[in-house]
Structure 1
Amino acid sequence: MFGGNALLRPSHATPEKLLTYECGVDPVGEGWAQTHVRYYVYAYLYVVFAVDAVFLFPWATVFAGLGWVSVAEMGVFIGFIAVGLVYAWRKGVLTWT
């Protein structure tokens, strides 16, 4: 099948076809670019708080029938998240400079 495909397809290599294409933008400059590590920290913090929301919203919808043990467990969970947020804030991770 691969051999038949190679024989039957039109293949006219032009400079435009050999040019790297990404998202409709012509490449300008070098292909190597460094990204600052703080962007990864923001992405990591987003994932942490998205997971927090995934656990917190369903719990909040059925809050009335869960009892005090569940309230205490969620308090511990939110406490861990708050400690992480305070730690990130004290380290200066949340400043955009």
Structure 2
Amino acid sequence: MAAVGLVLGIALLVLGLRGAATALAVARTPALGLPFESGTLPAQHAVSRFHVRWYAVSLLFLAFDMEMIFMYPWAVVIAQMGATSVVEMFAFLAVLLVGVLYAWREGALRWV
């Protein structure tokens, strides 16, 4: 298994260096040859600026995503852990609620 992986890895590296991979990928239109490969021409430059609001929204999304990652294992073992785990989870949710209230107060959730 290790030998097959090693041979495939070296073969892919050699094909990439020789340009054989790009010779095999035939683009039907010039737009398909662009790096994003969606078939449409870009509407704006790739390094265009975004409003800081989008960064705040993405950080809030990551916070809630992390909340769900921590809540799922907790929900699986809540029956075995007892009341202590319920109190600890609500303390964790309270900390997250403080962050959401701060973001709301600062206007990170306003779209206008």
Shorter-chain TM-score above 0.5? yes
Superposition pairs for residues 1-97 of structure 1, below 5 Å?
5=18, 21=34, 22=36, 23-27=38-42, 30=45, 32-97=47-112
Post-superposition offset of 1:70: 1.6
Percentage identity across paired residues of the two chains: 34
Deviation at 1:72, TM superposition (A): 1.9
Q: Give the unaligned 5+ runs of structure 1.
A: 11-15
The two structures have a TM-score, normalised by structure 2, of 0.62
Greater per-residue helix proportion: 2
User: Structure with the greater relative contact order (CA < 8 A, sep ≥ 6): 1 or 2?
Assistant: 1
What is the aligned-residue RMSD (CA, Å)?
2.8
- Structure number with larger C-alpha Rg: 1
Could you tell me which residue of structure 2 aligns to residue 13 of structure 1?
Answer: none
Q: Deviations over 1:10-52 (max 9, x none)?
A: 8xxxxx86xx723322245655421111111111111110110
